[in-house]
Amino acid sequence: MGQEVVEVRTDAARVQRAEVEDLLYLEAQLLDEWRLDEWMELYTDDAQYIIPANDLPDPAPDRDLVLVNDNKARLLARVQRLNSRKAHREYPHAATRHQVSNVRILDQSGGEIAVSAYFTVWRFRNGRDDHYVGRYDYRLRRADNALRISYKRAVMDMTVLRPAGAVSIIL
């Protein structure tokens, strides 16, 4: 008679909400301080960043219209442009405040951790203030002993992009 092998998963292997919140708050801080090169380090090499169109919050990005559908290479190009004088809508840089709340771990049974959070992003530039409100959907994974973002989707609650008219910052 052989012995049955039982895999025991301890709570120590599970990610706690405080660790997830620390990552999301760090991401917000880096974006607000325009430390975009450091912000990029929070993402895995196979990362995806999506902002769906306002009228289709759950698109298939390869088939449906989305406002942003970036892989890591496109994110790097976006960061380079935003760091240069070529980003006319963001040079000089707008002041932003990314507020993250209602952070919830939805699933961590596989290799990635599914997380949702609410956001409000304020953008101040040239005497105007614009705001973006919605929900973040994240997939996180551990890499180099730290949590990294492998997927981020920013689903906006607004039905139109007025008064901002565009998304020229990283939500």
Q: What is the CATH number of the domain that holds 96?
A: 3.10.450.50
Name the nearest CA neighbour of 104 among 24, 10, 50, 12: 24
Q: In whole angstroms, what is the distance from residue 156 CA to residue 119 CA?
A: 9
In a domain, 2, yes or no: no
- Using CB atoms within 10 Å of the CB of residue 85, give its burial: 0 to 12 exposed, 13 to 18 middle, 19+ buried: exposed
Q: What is the pLDDT of residues 58-103, one digit of tens each?
A: 777 778 788 899 999 999 999 998 888 877 778 788 899 999 999 9
For residue 108, being part of any structural domain is answered with: yes
User: Is 1 a domain residue?
Assistant: no
Is there a domain that residue 15 lies in?
no
Q: How far apart, in whole angstroms, are the C-alpha atoms of residue 101 and residue 22?
A: 12
Q: What is residue 6's predicted lDDT score, i.e. its pLDDT? A: 36
Which structure tokens are listed for 5?
Answer: 């092998």
Q: Please compute, for residue 126, the number of CA atoms within 13 A of its CA located in the half-sphere on the CB side.
A: 7
Asked, for residue 97, whether it belongs to a domain, the answer is yes
Question: Does residue 5 belong to any structural domain of this protein?
Answer: no
Q: Would residue 90 count as lying in a domain?
A: yes
What confidence tens digit (pLDDT) does each residue in 117-129 have? Answer: 999 999 998 888 8
Does a structural domain hold residue 163?
no
- Residue ranges making up the domain that contains 139: 29-156
Q: What pTM does this model have?
A: 0.87
Overall number of domains in the chain: 1
Q: Report the pLDDT averaged over residues 44-62.
A: 85
- Has residue 11 got a pLDDT over 50? no
